[in-house]
Amino acid sequence: MTSPTPFTVPEVPGLRVIVTGASSGIGLVAATALAAAGAEVTLAVRNVEKGSRVAEAITGSTQVKALDLANLASVREFAAAFKEPIDILINNAGVMATPLIRTADGFELQFGTNHLGHFALTNLLLPQITGRVVTVSSLAHRQGKINFDDLNWERRRYSRWGAYGQSKLANLLFTFELQRRLALADSSVIAVAAHPGYATTNLQVSMEESGLIGRAMSTLGNRLLAQSAAAGADPTLYAAVADLPGAAFVGPDGFGQMRGAPRIVAPNSRARDGGVAIRLWRSSEELTGTQFPL
């Protein structure tokens, strides 16, 4: 299947942007496009050697800095290095459908990386952010549920897809609660979210490693439905630079939001539950030791 016409990033000379997970997939595509448009892009990556290799192939202004979202000490060290203004933070990095693994701080890996790591990073960097925070979620948020009795899968039977859905729903609840707090603080910064639809990226490696059924589903889905990582990055780029209101959620406009051109889309109703969002925020503050700084 052919991909839609790529979203064209306007010229953004001097724009300071941080992209987490920028050494591959959607993060790399977004970093490359923004740098080509004149932005000064920081590739925030776990593997600096790999990040440096890909940065060499990017046209424009880039720097590579170490960030392991599964380690709060690394998140704090990364954030402490930034004293200059940051126009855009793109919370892109993530893991998908992994076996039960614990982060350095004891969190379930997907919840700890996809949500808590970005939650802490955003709060720590927010005093320097002048434009917007873009957080990348997923269609899997539709199946997500926030289990406050066992956020880190310590008592219930682990489900790799259940954990992924919870983390991606948390991304949206975080975005909408962040926007509410920014508005109450009379801040000009906005929080928006995006999802790539069904895109072929390195995240699917974990699905392909889940046995014969997982590999078959991944192969069939890629052939019938998936768009390229480049097309999958379009909603993120649109969310980063288009004229949008706070709390906008951007995704593909076609075939169940799985592929197509970027536009504002509707999330699952659970993502708009303000009470759950506030409760998740407070739990995330306790778990990460970070707070809204404005």
Structural domains in the chain, sorted by start: 16-286 (3.40.50.720)
Interacting residues of 287 by C-beta distance below 8 A, sequence separation 6+: 105, 107, 116, 151
pLDDT of residue 273: 97
Neighbour tally for 42: CB within 10 Å:
26
Decide if 290 contacts 174 (C-beta within 8 A). Answer: no
Rg (CA), the chain: 18
The answer to whether residues 115 and 284 touch, using CB atoms and an 8 Å cutoff, is: yes
Predicted pLDDT at 208:
46
pLDDT at 207: 47
Distance CA 56, CA 16 (A): 18
Collect the ranges in the chain with pLDDT lower than 70.
1-5, 199-229, 255-257, 259
Burial environment of residue 94 by CB neighbours within 10 A (0 to 12, 13 to 18, 19 or more): buried
Q: For position 226, what pLDDT does the model report? A: 60
Q: What is the pLDDT of residue 283?
A: 98
Active site residues: 164
Q: Quick one: pLDDT at residue 255?
A: 63
Burial track 218-231 (b if 16+ CB lie within 10 A, e otherwise):
beeeeeebbbbbbb
Instruction: Say how far apart CA 100 and CA 51 lie, in whole Å.
Output: 26
